[in-house]
Amino acid sequence: MSDAPETAPPHARPSGNNALLLLALGALGVVYGDIGTSPLYAFRESFHEGHGIPATAENIIGVLSLIFWSLIIIITIKYLVFVMRADNHGEGGILVLTTLIMPARDPRRGTGRWWLIMLGLFGTALLYGDGIITPAISVLSAVEGLGVATPLFEPFIIPITIAILVALFWFQRHGTERVGRIFGPVTLVWFVVLGSLGLWWITRQPDVLAAANPLHGLNFFRHNGWPGFLVLGSVFLVVTGGEALYADMGHFGRTPIRLAWFAVVLPALLLNYFGQGALLITNPAAIENPFYHMAPSWALYPVVALATFATVIASQALITGAFSLTRQAVQLGYLPRVVIDQTSPSAVGQIYIPTVNWLLLASCIALVLVARSSTRLAAAYGLAVTTTMVVTTLLLFVVARERWKWSLPVAVLFAAFFLVIDLGFWGANVMKIPAGGWFPLLVGVLVLTVMTTWKRGRQLLRQIMGKRAVRFSDFAAGFDSAGVVRVPGTAVYMYSDPECTPPALLHNLEHNKVIHEKVILLSIKVNEVPYVPAAERVEVHPLQNGFYRVVLCYGFMEDPDVPRDLALARERGLPLEPGEAT
């Protein structure tokens, strides 16, 4: 919860003198893949004909000013300085942020804290909609560069996009560890190309640098009125990767992520956006696809290939994020258990969830077939992320008050400043609902319904079983070992409540009239922290008459491994021979 120590899990950190640079390079590929591909479509969509804003020099400078200050205020100040301080043992993400405000007991329905938690869960659910749209719009916008090169490719853009998406999702079952080493270097090359293309055009039209003055952004609103406000919905596309910074913090740590941003990502993005502005001032007709028009004709095909590779990497990060989010929700009891495959023996974050993978692929293909252009997808893009950002600000206010102990006036001013900006973007994106913005909202509502229904069902089932449960203290008091046949060996009975007697044990005793010499009452507990150290994994409590209570503790980022961790219990004094246990 502070900036002092880096607390990401040790598996995510290479050792050696170059550890910081290696982590920063890895962050380029995973953390910044999404925001790094926004130049493909964000500036173009700001002058979409539907806005009715002509690409005059004054308007171009105004939009550039909005882009510049959006990157500074939202990404640099809000996320990198403040939001990333709100970690749970080094892990980040809106679901993690929600756990930071959860009380020890589930709050009563309808209370203020209950509504806050529901907002956090809704923000989490919306990220699934983002995980569907991002691969579709990123890959499609990259492949559309072929149409800029020659009209001959126009009929093949959709099939090529679908083929790339199928290959991308098919590869998930092999895990990303094999190609992870090249993600960072390729993305570094991408950012170098972004900056180089932009710098080339800035030198030809240096007047665009005046956009760093925020007055140009204010004048843009003053001159264009309501249509100018609606442009914010497209400007927001430049910061849609903000949540990825926070969600992937546990894999790299704050310092490497910040280093990559200030040293590479921010300069490259600003140079490219300003370069696109310089191009449009010189040639307004290039608004059809300013990013690809920046490239010289001889470099167009290599840039299209590199952009396609970069979008695949960006999509990879969102898919992996959906897997991690699902595992967190399962462990916290908000989603039913699904098959989770560990694809790496060393990296805990490398997982594959077949159900989520194929649902995402089917949804992505359906979106591409329906929309058929990145411009139409852009109409659906942004609402989910900006809603999540509004929720993040609200939750961060509570964290600032309760965890950071900020005074009420300071916390209110802090939240109000960012809420004004977040709600401005949110309001502009709400206007996209009829044009496709309804899709991520629909996905969010469906996922939230599943999460809350499953959680509530588990609570009701626990209450019903709790009424029928026999506390072990009552069982032990009435247990007459003389009247029961004790057979050699060890029996392990699992039950969720460590204070109660497992029903399977009671049924066995009632019907078979026998019980093993050693009986282990095993419970698994998922703590509201990402990882539980091995030293705190096992709790062993000797009882009477050969009974032992064992509690295995896990974090919500971990998958339980009972056989492995029962072996750890032997070191805590548990007389267990795994080969003899039933």
β-partners of residue 342 are 351
pLDDT category at 373 given cuts 50, 70, 90 is confident
87 neighbors 96 (Cβ within 8 angstroms): yes
pLDDT category at 6 given cuts 50, 70, 90 is very low
Question: For the segment 500-534, what is each residue's pLDDT rounded down to a tens digit?
Answer: 878 888 888 877 778 888 888 888 887 767 778 87
pLDDT category at 222 given cuts 50, 70, 90 is very high
What CA–CA distance (Å, rounded) separates 130 from 382? 8
303 neighbors 292 (Cβ within 8 angstroms): yes
5, pLDDT greater than 50: no
Nearest partner of 118 among 450, 469, 448, judged by Cα: 448
Strands 485-494 and 514-526: parallel
Q: In this predicted model, which residue has the larger pLDDT, 345 or 50?
A: 50
Q: How far is CA 262 from CA 72, 77, 246, 257, 480, in A?
A: 11, 12, 16, 9, 70
**Separation of CA 380 from chain center:** 19
324 neighbors 340 (Cβ within 8 angstroms): no
pLDDT category at 573 given cuts 50, 70, 90 is confident
Q: b/e map of 474-494 (b: 16 or more CB within 10 Å)?
A: ebeeebeeeeeeeeeebbbbe
Mean pLDDT calculated for residue range 59-85: 95
465, pLDDT greater than 80: no
**Separation of CA 256 from chain center:** 18
β-partners of residue 481 are none
Mean pLDDT calculated for residue range 250-254: 77
2, pLDDT greater than 60: no
Q: Which of 16-20, 64-68, 524-528, 572-576 has the highest mean pLDDT?
A: 64-68
Q: In this predicted model, which residue has the larger pLDDT, 246 or 570?
A: 246
Could you list the beta-strand ranges (E) of 110-213: none
Burial class (CB within 10 angstroms; exposed 0-12, middle 13-18, buried 19+) of 290: buried
pLDDT category at 8 given cuts 50, 70, 90 is very low
Mean pLDDT calculated for residue range 287-299: 89
384, pLDDT greater than 60: yes
What CA–CA distance (Å, rounded) separates 362 from 119? 27
Could you list the beta-strand ranges (E) of 302-415: 341-342, 351-352
574, pLDDT greater than 80: no
> Residues with Cβ < 8 Å from 558, sequence gap 6 or more?
331, 348, 530, 531, 532
What CA–CA distance (Å, rounded) separates 422 from 416? 10
- pLDDT number for residue 358: 92
347, pLDDT greater than 60: no
Helix (H) or strand (E) holding 115: helix 112-143
Backbone φ and ψ of 352, nearest 5° = -140, 130
pLDDT category at 399 given cuts 50, 70, 90 is very high
17, pLDDT greater than 50: no
Q: Is the dihedral of CA 16, 17, 18, 19 positive or negative?
A: positive
Mean pLDDT over each residue of the chain, to the nearest integer: 84
Mean pLDDT calculated for residue range 489-493: 85
- pLDDT number for residue 11: 44
At residue 131, what is the residue type?
Answer: G
pLDDT category at 1 given cuts 50, 70, 90 is very low
- pLDDT number for residue 16: 46
Question: For the segment 406-445, what is each residue's pLDDT rounded down to a tens digit?
Answer: 999 999 999 999 999 999 999 998 988 888 888 888 888 9
132, pLDDT greater than 80: yes
Q: In this predicted model, which residue has the larger pLDDT, 308 or 219?
A: 219
Question: For the segment 300-327, what is each residue's pLDDT rounded down to a tens digit?
Answer: 889 988 988 888 877 776 787 788 788 8
Q: In this predicted model, which residue has the larger pLDDT, 270 or 18?
A: 270
Mean pLDDT calculated for residue range 78-86: 92
Q: Which of 61-75, 323-337, 565-579 has the highest mean pLDDT?
A: 61-75
Share of the chain above pLDDT 90, in %: 31
Mean pLDDT calculated for residue range 560-568: 80
What CA–CA distance (Å, rounded) separates 146 from 144? 5
- pLDDT number for residue 350: 65
10, pLDDT greater than 50: no
Biggest alpha carbon–alpha carbon distance for the chain: 96
Helix (H) or strand (E) holding 547: strand 547-554
Residue 332 DSSP code: T
Burial class (CB within 10 angstroms; exposed 0-12, middle 13-18, buried 19+) of 542: exposed
- pLDDT number for residue 426: 93
Question: For the segment 271-284, what is each residue's pLDDT rounded down to a tens digit?
Answer: 999 999 999 999 98
At residue 292, what is the residue type?
Answer: Y
Nearest partner of 449 among 125, 7, 131, judged by Cα: 125
Q: In this predicted model, which residue has the larger pLDDT, 517 or 267?
A: 267
